[in-house]
Structure 1
């Protein structure tokens, strides 16, 4: 029985025939009288929609539409068709919507509401604290720094001392020559840290979320406030009443502008930069007031005749980018009053700590326990003032040979009372080399802080001791 002769494949069954048939079907679906060109294939099948100008240019957007609806150049198109308008044919069942080809598309976004940032700080913080501790310093310039006999340098100076030429990091001896009527005070960091904690406690009573700026101030986003100036004035009065410290406040559309506004107040007061007046405020200020413009950058700007912020703006962004690279773009943005940096605020501090120096050779456990109890009482008061509880404790031990050792523990239940903190501290002390090595200092830190109400709401995973 002979084999049948091979059957010739019809054009439809060949590869080229299948492609031709597919193209024909596509033309029938689209309408071959259309003057527009549409590429078939995967890109079209994966497209959400195809946007075509009357000239036939194709535009794809992600999605899953399989068929592109187009209108020829001479056709009238759907209702409302206008020459020069791009039409989007969406999925079947959805109405195509026009997209204007100009710079202002149909249905443009509503304008963004300008921000309102408040910056508050205690000026010349170390010097202001010293004046608050000693009223006799109120009428004298104050210089805070190291011992002049040991080549100490200036760490802070009051405004009147700075006006006499006193600068930070200069030797205290030279500062006293420039301002002989000033009073030199030795640095007292424990005091400054304590006052800083009290300051932020006072600030958080007025504002729940604050981004700290050093020890003396912070940023607050008050965009939703109806009268930011009244809030600032109330804050200034509260700090003066409770802490006897001056406070200056700046209000503007960005963090950089708010800080500059506060710096223009002087010793105490409120300065608000209204939207639209940023250029008038910035233009006469020296270029060195821009963040990121140090001595070298300022010298380069002077070579290009840019002495003020207004001169920097006149250079233009392209010229600044040629001189400083990408840093020039940031300089131009700040000089133009554009600062979109967000306020990274927190509701409360991340940790609280206290330290104590032990005289002699601390080896007696009972004496060390008493020191820890004092630290626990101080921390209890701070937790109570801020309404917090702690879920982590860290003990720092400083030995007489300057070596340090830390021990930490995550607590199963949040603590807020002095007895509870002291009990945890004693357990951590047992894990240190107490008795074998003399101790010079102890420090206790509480972390993983949360509001008392939040810690009370946390339930045990297995109640009943399971």
Structure 2
């Protein structure tokens, strides 16, 4: 089955802002250049969707209620949801912060039929979080996800295994995993419009036409999805980004923003008791082109100082490659996992910081991180970090062009 929380970020916020229930509301930054993170079902009636630029959302409904996102609340709620699922079965494949696949075959003798288990999960999630969820129950992962999407909000969609293909055939081909806008256009131009149309295609011909994805989507259209639920014991990445109200042309200002992002990213990693095996810096230029630079760490790290120094080096490389005004800046922790026992290599990472700071021990930086974590927990949104990590001299402005 596929368990998906309903308008997750917004629903979490409405626990603190109940006066906004039943009204067009979204979660996102208030800047017109921000994007909608989550939209209420009332807002969706005006065509407002997740990932839509906030300026477009406000143009569709000027009285739209905009709630600033609070990451910590979403993480806590997600943890409670996943705890509920793991109490039912260890076979939980978390897809994102608010959705997961669950294999309940081993729990049937103890808890009943899949539909009974789905109802139990919904009840326990509501008790643990005060939030609603939608669940798709089917013989395959792909159909379970389709059912949860088509049963929102607060529903349960069920299709018995023997009716899988019968249910799929009349649906639009866009419901099949892997069929994005460009592929959908190609399929429609070939008069392949329903799942049934796609299921009738020859896999060999489809491979010649579309490549390896051709036979894959035919197989899914035929109701054949052999992928098992695969529990994941570690996160792949954690990232933070910031879109600027005005394009940044000053490298020193970028470095200050990078410091904030590095510490926020490291704090999120530490809050899960994890460490990162790599880091990536992302920038989006004024022409909307996106560039990234990554590094593999010599040893897993979770220190804000280490994150920032590596991120700073990566940013400098990106700016040397091409100097353009920057619209968006991001930091991503890669290969995030439970940390292994610390080694001398990890200690040496702290020497990456400015030479004047090399005397600071690993314990000093860990103590600093702990203080910053405590401040962030007590005062959400407080912008506090070690200013000594910034360059001592301002950089020149980026040249035009």
Which TM-score band (shorter chain)?
Answer: 0.5 to 0.7
**Is residue 333 from structure 1 mapped to residue 216 from structure 2 by the alignment?**
no
Cα distance in 2 for residues equivalent to 1:404 and 1:298: 38
1:224-250 alpha-carbon deviations (Å, 9 max, x no partner): 425111011011011112211111111
Q: Which runs of 4+ in 1 moved over 4 A?
A: 348-351, 399-406, 432-435, 437-443
Cα distance in 1 for residues equivalent to 2:128 and 2:71: 21
User: What is residue 299 of structure 1 aligned with on the other side?
Assistant: 185
User: What is residue 121 of structure 1 aligned with on the other side?
Assistant: 4
User: What is residue 33 of structure 1 aligned with on the other side?
Assistant: none
Q: 1:306 to 1:274 in 2, by over 3 A?
A: same
Cα distance in 1 for residues equivalent to 2:193 and 2:62: 32
Cα distance in 2 for residues equivalent to 1:176 and 1:129: 22
Instruction: After TM superposition, give the deviation of residue 181 of structure 1 in Å.
Output: 4.4
Q: Which has the higher contact order (CA 8 A, sep 6+)?
A: 2
User: What is residue 186 of structure 1 aligned with on the other side?
Assistant: 68
User: What is residue 208 of structure 2 aligned with on the other side?
Assistant: 322
Cα distance in 2 for residues equivalent to 1:438 and 1:272: 48
Cα distance in 1 for residues equivalent to 2:365 and 2:135: 48
**Is residue 239 from structure 1 mapped to residue 170 from structure 2 by the alignment?**
no
1:77-132 alpha-carbon deviations (Å, 9 max, x no partner): xxxxxxxxxxxxxxxxxxxxxxxxxxxxxxxxxxxxxxxxx111102221221223
Which of 57, 78, 83 is matched with 1:201 structurally?
83
Q: TM-score, normalised by structure 1?
A: 0.52
User: What pairs up with 1:207-356 in 2 under 5 angstroms?
Assistant: 207-224=89-106, 225=108, 226-345=112-231
The structure with the larger Rg is 1
Cα distance in 2 for residues equivalent to 1:349 and 1:209: 14
User: What is residue 362 of structure 2 aligned with on the other side?
Assistant: 431
Cα distance in 2 for residues equivalent to 1:154 and 1:138: 17
CA contact (8 A) 2:28 2:35 kept: yes
Instruction: After TM superposition, give the deviation of residue 431 of structure 1 in Å.
Output: 1.4
1:215-272 alpha-carbon deviations (Å, 9 max, x no partner): 0121121234251110110110111122111111111111111111111111112111
CA contact (8 A) 1:397 1:441 kept: no
Cα distance in 1 for residues equivalent to 2:309 and 2:190: 52
1:373-431 alpha-carbon deviations (Å, 9 max, x no partner): xx99x889xxxxxxxxxxxx96423489776799x6628xxxxxxxxxxxxxxxxx941
SS of 1:133 mapped into structure 2: coil
Unaligned ranges ≥5, structure 2: 239-266, 274-299, 313-332, 334-338, 343-359, 375-401
**Is residue 172 from structure 1 mapped to residue 54 from structure 2 by the alignment?**
yes
SS of 1:250 mapped into structure 2: strand
Cα distance in 2 for residues equivalent to 1:170 and 1:379: 29
Cα distance in 1 for residues equivalent to 2:172 and 2:48: 20
Instruction: After TM superposition, give the deviation of residue 202 of structure 1 in Å.
Output: 2.3
**Is residue 134 from structure 1 mapped to residue 134 from structure 2 by the alignment?**
no
SS of 1:302 mapped into structure 2: helix
**Is residue 144 from structure 1 mapped to residue 60 from structure 2 by the alignment?**
no
Instruction: After TM superposition, give the deviation of residue 441 of structure 1 in Å.
Output: 4.4
CA contact (8 A) 2:25 2:67 kept: yes
Q: 1:400 to 1:313 in 2, by over 3 A?
A: closer
Size of the alignment, in residue pairs?
A: 276
Query: Normalized per residue, which structure has more helix?
Result: 2
**Is residue 157 from structure 1 mapped to residue 39 from structure 2 by the alignment?**
yes
Q: TM-score, normalised by structure 2?
A: 0.60
User: What pairs up with 1:402-421 in 2 under 5 angstroms?
Assistant: 410=341
1:354-378 alpha-carbon deviations (Å, 9 max, x no partner): xxxxxxxxxxxxxxxxxx9xx99x8
1:51-71 alpha-carbon deviations (Å, 9 max, x no partner): xxxxxxxxxxxxxxxxxxxxx
